[in-house]
Structure 1
Amino acid sequence: MPAGEEGRRGVPLSDRQRLNWLRLIRSDNVGPATFRDLINHFGSAETAIEQLPELSRRGGSARSIRVASVEEAERELEAAEKFGAVFIGIGEPDYPPALRRIDGAPPLLAAIGDLALATRAAVGIVGSRNASVSGAKMAARMARELGTAGYVIVSGFARGIDAAAHRASLESGTIAALAGGLDQPYPPENKELYKGICAGNGLAISEMPMGWEPRARDFPRRNRLIAGIGLGLVVIEAAQRSGSLITARRAADFGRLVFAVPGSPLDPRAAGANGLLKDGAILTTESRDVIDALAPSSRFFGDDEPLFEEPDSDGNDPFAEPRDDDRTRVIEALGPSPAETDDIIRHTGVAAQTVYLVLLELDLAGRLHRHPGGMVSLAFETD
């Protein structure tokens, strides 16, 4: 039995903190990394919200930044409550422990269903939407056997392999990561499956607002949730260019084990999984391959995941504006190629806290791109 089912660590948010966290993450140009930097610098979401317009102006924004209002956040909280969902903060006990470890973990997750599933050790299963009969059968068998071994199955609620894995693991525990809002599950043919998940036989999660209809660019964000929640990822039938391979790359970036089920070289649906095997993925023909490989990491699951919470007191002085020459040196050090923040600090000789604040200003002004691994680059305007 995987470890971690007992150990729920974290500090609950107050109602006021939850409201302000939602306002902050729903404001313009505030992504997960920016959210974390703002909290670390200003000490609370409430203080950070007050500073957003000034930070954006200092970063060179040509227009006023949109800050989510109290009324907007209250409406979203009310809509979630009416739907039967809750918002879980990254430092709270019900937040998935493995997800806390990834770069750019969402500060808030909307969730509906059995919250206890979020804190158990999980394995991702993904694959082709246009699955073959044998592929769907393999996904179902793998999901059932991993569930019997104590793992929760996490997938992306797509048709094909995802749906087969969810259905087979409803009794043992399944987590569906959605690309849209919890009230906008996609695709529509999985409606009955979604009812079963929401009724408490599973758990559905999303970082998108209630009412949000999923778009193409939302699915890669969804994929990182699957990769981050699971201790490992099993790929069954994936084409050369597919979301499953994006999920596999993210899982590898997060230090997760990637498993691939081989398929016929004549079936284009197997080309992606076979390619993963050539690149070093673990050859998988039965659930025991996954269980044995994950045993060491499962033993220590959840023991040392980092917690994130608002400090007891405010952080740095929110009104300590960087000097113009410091800001200039940081901006000149940036370019279109991603750079590590530590390298920028060494190159410019500017104090670390000042560099982080300048990067926040640029980010909120829409002039900074953030990349995996904490790297940043300057966003150049095009004519």
Structure 2
Amino acid sequence: MSTGAERRLNDRQRRAWLRLIRTENVGPATFRDLINRFGSAEAALAALPELAHKGGAQRIRIPSEAEVDAELDLAHRMGACFVAIGEAHYPPLLARADHPPPLIAAKGRLDLLREPTIAIVGARNASLAGIKLAQRIAVELGRQGYLVASGLARGIDAAAHRGSIETGTAAAMAGGLDRPYPPENDVLFAEIAERGAVLTEMPFGWTPRARDFPRRNRIVAGMAYGLVVVEAASRSGSLISARLANEMGRLVFAVPGSPLDPRAAGTNKLLKDGAILTTGAEDVLDAIAPLVGQPPPEREMEEPSDSLAAPPPGDDERARVLEALGPTPVGIDEIIRHTGLHPAQVSLILLELDLAGRLERHSGGSVSLLMGGR
């Protein structure tokens, strides 16, 4: 199923997509594999119990039709909607990221999500100087026609949103649309939901956990041509965002700071590692302008094809793949070469293990075995 041509899901397809992505152990990569193999979410849902059983799971929890209807009803009451990859209001660069969320819940001026985007992130305990600089950069980027994206956190994120609220800002969230975080930004969230756009891949009612913030960071980085880090400690979520942006081929910008300020340790390290030195919006605009209109190569959902045709894997084939796996990530191509199995057989076995909660996926397409399961 290609994301190249704009499409629109009908109500039945959207409900099936939502039910599939809300299924236990189904993340964006697994969703993509299931659609590629079975051709539709409905067909994939029918195949899930057997696939998970073959992967070693006793059962897999699939949301009921009533649960999906309840989430759709809640979205409607909130004035939100679910946007599928390939639809008109899905952020175009995010669609071309590695394992983009197949569905996002969104609210606000969704037309803004089509605009060329630059992300600004940084420390929650930001300095006054950092907050002023982030806000000024956001104002100037907005005046030049860019949507400014960030993660709704306190500090630099909030300053970026406030600086671009007049021209267009988007907040990616780590929890459900009805669970903005942190609570101190509730007023800012409401303003962005009315004048900008808010989006998340998480279910309604979901309170964010620590491990959800890197997923949020992936969306912020994936939406943008470039990511600006204003302040960041040596261990911070902003550095995760910068790493993700770099892995996606996005530009990474960093504002230098005093070596005596721990909030500059992360940005100074980014500069040592090759980030673009940034002291104002002009540095960002000069580097981004040539890229606008030239998005990175698109990763497509494919229609099922004869290339997937192969004898179904048996217990011997599953044992060979399990023997090749361990806690250290390995590339799928390496598994195929090592086992000598048909790529479609390896793909199906990995899918079975994933649905059973026994596989972990890593950036770059590598996988590892979860020792003991999830």
TM-score by length of structure 1 reads 0.93
Q: For residues 212 and 192 of structure 1, do their structure 2 counterparts lie closer, same or farther at Cα, with a shift above 3 Å needed?
A: same
Q: Which runs of 5+ in 1 are unaligned?
A: 1-7
Shift of 1:188: 1.4
CA distance in 1, matches of 2:304, 2:360: 30
Q: Does 1:341 align with 2:332?
A: yes
Q: 2:201 matched to which residue of 1?
A: 207
**Which whole-Å deviations, capped at 9, do the CAs of 1:277-306 have from their partners, x for residues lacking one?**
11111000111111111122114248x644
Does residue 331 in structure 1 map to residue 322 in structure 2?
A: yes
Q: How does 1:274-285 map to 2 (within 5 A)?
A: 274-285=268-279
Secondary structure of the structure 2 residue equivalent to 1:241: coil
Q: In structure 2, what is the equivalent of residue 102 of structure 1?
A: 97
User: What is the deviation of 1:99?
Assistant: 0.6
Question: In the alignment, what sits opposite 1:51?
Answer: 47
Q: Is 2:115 the partner of 1:120?
A: yes
Q: 1:321 deviation in Å?
A: 3.6
CA spacing shift, 1:9–1:290, aligned 2, 3 Å: farther
Contact 1:177/1:225 (CA < 8 Å) preserved in 2?
yes
Aligned mates of 1:324, 1:381 — CA distance in 2: 20
Give the aligned partner of residue 294 of structure 1.
288
Q: 1:358 aligns with which of 324, 349, 355?
A: 349
Match of 1:223 in 2: 217
* Alignment match, 2:135: 140
2:339 and 2:207 map into 1 onto residues whose CA distance is 43
Query: Offset of 1:324 from its aligned partner?
Result: 2.0
Hey, what's the Cα distance between the residues in 2 that align with 1:26 and 1:314?
Answer: 29
Instruction: Give distance in 1, aligned partners of 2:112 and 2:304.
Output: 30
SS of residue paired to 1:258: strand
Residue 25 (structure 1) aligned to one of 14, 18, 21: 21
Distance 1:381 1:215 in 2: 22
Give 1:375's aligned residue.
366
Q: In 2, Cα distance between the equivalents of 1:59 and 1:129?
A: 42
Question: What is the distance in 1 between the residues matched to 2:355 and 2:204?
Answer: 24
Matched with 1:267 is 261
Q: Once superposed, which parts of structure 1, at least 4 consecutive aligned residues long, lie more than 3 Å away? A: 304-309, 311-318
Select 2:171's aligned residue among 165, 169, 176. 176
Could you say what secondary structure the match of 2:221 adopts? helix
Distance of 2:304 and 2:78 partners within structure 1: 33
SS of the residue 1:131 aligns to: coil
Match of 1:5 in 2: none
C-alpha contact 1:131 1:237 (8 A) present in aligned 2: yes
The alpha-carbon deviation at position 60 of structure 1 amounts to: 1.2
Deviation at 1:128, TM superposition (A): 0.9
For residues 48-82 of structure 1, give each alpha carbon's deviation from its aligned partner in whole angstroms, at most 9, with x where no partner exists: 11111100111111x21111111111110111111
Aligned counterparts of 2:216 and 2:273: Cα–Cα separation in 1: 24
Structure 2: distance between partners of 1:373 and 1:104: 10
| Count of residue pairs brought into register by the alignment | 370
Gaps of 5+ in 2: none
Change (3 A) 1:91 1:236: same
SS of 2:292's equivalent in the other structure is helix
Give the secondary structure class of the aligned counterpart of 2:63.
coil
Task: Tell me, yes or no, if the aligned pair for 1:125 and 1:155 is still in contact at 8 Å.
Answer: yes
CA distance in 2, matches of 1:301, 1:366: 34
Cα distance, 1:120 vs. partner?
Answer: 1.1
- Counterpart mapping for 1:219-258 below 5 A: 219-258=213-252
Whether the aligned pair in 1 keeps the contact of 2:38 and 2:304 (CA below 8 Å) is: no
Amino acid at match of 1:259: F
Change in Cα spacing, 1:142 to 1:376, as seen in structure 2 (3 Å) is: same
Q: Distance in 2 between matches of 1:82 and 1:374?
A: 38
- Work out the CA distance in 2 between the residues paired with 1:307 and 1:276: 31
Note the C-alpha offset of 1:193: 1.2
- 1:4 aligned partner: none
Residue type of the alignment partner of 1:182: L
Offset at residue 364 of structure 1 (A): 0.7
Q: Which moved more, 1:138-147 or 1:372-381?
A: 372-381
Q: Is the 8 A contact 2:218 2:244 kept in 1?
A: yes
| 1:175 shift after superposition | 0.5
Q: Is the 8 A contact 1:42 1:314 kept in 2?
A: no
Query: Which residue, 70, 75, 84 being the options, matches 1:75?
Result: 70
Separation in structure 1 between the aligned mates of residue 304 and residue 333 of structure 2, nearest angstrom: 27
Q: Distance in 2 between matches of 1:226 and 1:26?
A: 21
CA distance in structure 1 between the partners assigned to 2:316 and 2:293 by the alignment: 51
RMSD between superposed Cα atoms in Å: 1.9
Q: Is the 8 A contact 1:135 1:237 kept in 2?
A: yes
Shift of 1:340: 0.9
Structure-2 change in CA distance of 1:253 and 1:301 (3 Å): closer
Using the TM superposition, give the Cα deviation of residue 342 of structure 1 relative to its aligned residue in structure 2, in angstroms. Answer: 1.1
Q: Which deviations, in whole Å up to 9, do the C-alpha atoms of 1:332-351 show, x marking residues without a partner?
A: 11122111111111111111
In 2, Cα distance between equivalents of 1:169 and 1:308: 34
Q: Is the 8 A contact 2:307 2:344 kept in 1?
A: no
Deviations 1:4-26 (A, max 9, x none): xxxx9521111111100010111
